[in-house]
Structure 1
Amino acid sequence: MRLVPVALAVVLLAACGQADPDVQLLAEAQADLKLSARDPESVRFGQVWVSRVSGVPAVCGTMNARNGFGGYAGERRFIWASQREIWVDEGATATELERRWPSMCRSEPTPLPAS
């Protein structure tokens, strides 16, 4: 579970008063994406990064989760915007994700600075 290390980092950095805004965005995005899934405990994240291509911070990446039959559906791209808008590469939001991906996400993730 990758959310636990990210959440722990946010708590530890916040306690020091030096929380990295990217770490906070990643934790918020992962929590929201889990809540949007049919089986929140099954969500697994692939590459996840913060992009500022459009001037507005967005969390971009891939995720996989169990479907209604209990099997994993396969990696899906997602965009989570700071306004808590979520687009996933499936169903009704797939077309919108395709339209927004070039303007909101880089094709290659930019590594976060080491803490």
Structure 2
Amino acid sequence: MASAIGLTGLMLTLIAGVMSYIEFKRDDPKEGMVFAALSAVGFFMLMGGAALKGKPAVAATPTVQTQPDPRGTSSQQALFVVRGQEAVQAKLRDPASATFRGQFFSYSGNMHVTCGWVNSKNGFGGYVGFQRYISSTLPETTFLEQEVRDGQFDLVWQQLCRG
């Protein structure tokens, strides 16, 4: 490793030194300064290579490959909750009247879902009361508690909404 650094430094020093001399001769000191700086870097690499000679090379730190969290980042989860709310609103008679509470992101059985409670106005203009919902961001895959037969919603809620 020391010899590789030293050899690279020597080559860089020689090339930059020659180029620096040529540029100064052409009366372009600005470009000559660039090559002079490269020459200095090469010199320090040459010296660093000489100083490392005979010393053991430092072992590379092993890299650990991590898999992305299947639940996503917190910002992705927050976006998922917002999309779930939009899907719920698309199913309501008066989407603008929707009030949400207790909504949360859940990852269960390789499914991303948003769970929570929603209250909205019915056709007569009165609020119907909070009901649970489960959404995977599309209206077709969003279910309101009042739409599902008795008992079935509870079973799905227990499986998917463990937040």
TM beyond 0.5: yes
Q: Match for 1:29 among 68, 74, 84?
A: 84
Once superposed, what is the RMSD of the aligned Cα atoms?
2.0
Determine helix, strand or coil for the equivalent of 1:20.
helix
Partner of 2:144: 88
Identity of aligned residues (%): 25
Structure 1 Cα separation of the partners of residues 138 and 95 of structure 2: 21
By how many angstroms is 1:54 displaced? 2.6
**Quick one: which of 57, 73, 76 aligns to 2:131?**
76
Instruction: Answer with 1 or 2: which has the greater Rg.
Output: 2
> Could you say which residue in structure 2 is the equivalent of 1:56?
111
Gaps spanning 5+ residues in structure 1: where?
1-17, 110-115
Q: Structure 2 length as normaliser, TM-score?
A: 0.49
Q: Which amino acid aligns with 1:97?
A: F
TM-score for both structures, normalised by structure 1: 0.68
Greater relative contact order: 1 or 2 (C-alpha under 8 angstroms, separation 6 or more)? 1
Structure 2 stretches of 5 or more lacking a match?
Answer: 1-72
Structure 1 segments (4+ residues) deviating >4 Å: none
Q: Which has the higher strand share?
A: 1
